[in-house]
C-alpha cells in the first residue's frame, strides 16, 4: 500500500510563494510513489472552534462544515505537510482556524486517554513550509509553535521544515537558489516507504 501524503495549502494567494513550495514538495512525493491529496484551506467552508468542549465527550466536533471533509485525512494520512505563510508575525487566520479545529484530537488524547495512531499505523511524518516577507529574526517563531502543537496532537513526527524569509512579492521564492530542491527533498522524505507494523 503506497504512503499517503496530505498537503494543506494555507495561503489565500493561489499559486503564491508558499503554495509553490507545497507543489514542489507534493510533486516529489508523487514521483516517489506516494498517494497525494491536496486541499486549499481557503476553499473549504471553515468556521472557528466554539470552545464548547463537546469533543471532550467522544472526540467528535459538533460544528458541521468543511472540516468534515478534512478530518478523515487528518486521522489517516501517513504524512502531512502544512504550507502557510506568515501574516502579521504569525500563522494566517484560515490555517490557524484549521489547527484550532483539531481540538477533537487533543480531547481524544488528553481527555479520553486514547491514541490517534492505531497498532497497524505507519509512523506518521509531517513537514512545515513557510514564506515571510520580512527578514526579522523571530518572524517564524509563532508559526513554528503552532505547527509543533499540531504535530503533537496528531501524533506526527517532524520530517523537516523550510522557512523562507524575505519572500514577499509574487514569484520571489523562485529566486531562492535552494528552495525548490529543499522542498522536493522534504517531499521525498514524506513519501519514504515505511513498513506497516507486523
What is the residue whose three cell numbers read 522557512? 163
On whether the pTM is more than 0.85, the answer is yes
Average model confidence (pLDDT) across the chain: 95
Rounded Cα distance between 186 and 71, Å, is: 23
Over residues 42-55, the pLDDT tens digits come to: 999 999 999 999 99
- Domain 4-190 coded CATH 3.40.50.360: yes
DSSP character at residue 155 = T
- Taking the alpha carbons of 181, 125, 143, 64 in that order, is the dihedral positive or negative? positive
Rounded Cα distance between 154 and 115, Å, is: 9
Check whether 27 has a pLDDT greater than 90.
yes
Domain ranges of the chain: 4-190
Over residues 110-128, the pLDDT tens digits come to: 999 999 988 778 899 999 9
Indicate the pLDDT class of residue 157, thresholds 50, 70 and 90. Answer: very high
**CA–CA distances in Å: residue 51 to residues 31, 72, 92, 114:** 41, 21, 19, 21
Quick one: pLDDT at residue 197?
64
Indicate the pLDDT class of residue 194, thresholds 50, 70 and 90. Answer: confident
Over residues 130-147, the pLDDT tens digits come to: 999 999 999 999 999 999
Radius of gyration of the chain (CA): 16
Rounded Cα distance between 165 and 137, Å, is: 9
Check whether 198 has a pLDDT greater than 60.
no
Q: What three-state secondary structure class fits 50?
A: coil
Amino acid at each position: 500500500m503506497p504512503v499517503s501524503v496530505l498537503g494543506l495549502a494555507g495561503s489565500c494567494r493561489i499559486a503564491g510563494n508558499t503554495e509553490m513550495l507545497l507543489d514542489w514538495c507534493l510533486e516529489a512525493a508523487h514521483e516517489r510513489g506516494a498517494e497525494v491529496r491536496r486541499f486549499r484551506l481557503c476553499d473549504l467552508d471553515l468556521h472557528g472552534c466554539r470552545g464548547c468542549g463537546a469533543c471532550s465527550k467522544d472526540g467528535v466536533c459538533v460544528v458541521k462544515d468543511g472540516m468534515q471533509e478534512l478530518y478523515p485525512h487528518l486521522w489517516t494520512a501517513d504524512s502531512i505537510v502544512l504550507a502557510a505563510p506568515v501574516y502579521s508575525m504569525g500563522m494566517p487566520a484560515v490555517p490557524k482556524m484549521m489547527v484550532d479545529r483539531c481540538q477533537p484530537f487533543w480531547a481524544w488524547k488528553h481527555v479520553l486517554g486514547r491514541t490517534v495512531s492505531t497498532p497497524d499505523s505507519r509512523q506518521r511524518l509531517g513537514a512545515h513550509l513557510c514564506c515571510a516577507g520580512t527578514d526579522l529574526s523571530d518572524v517564524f517563531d509563532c508559526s513554528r509553535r503552532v505547527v509543533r502543537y499540531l504535530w503533537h496532537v496528531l501524533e506526527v513526527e517532524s520530517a523537516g521544515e523550510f522557512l523562507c524569509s524575505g519572500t514577499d512579492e509574487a514569484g520571489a521564492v523562485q529566486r531562492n537558489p535552494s528552495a525548490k530542491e529543499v522542498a522536493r527533498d522534504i517531499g521525498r522524505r514524506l513519501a519514504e516507504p515505511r513498513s506497516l507494523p507486523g
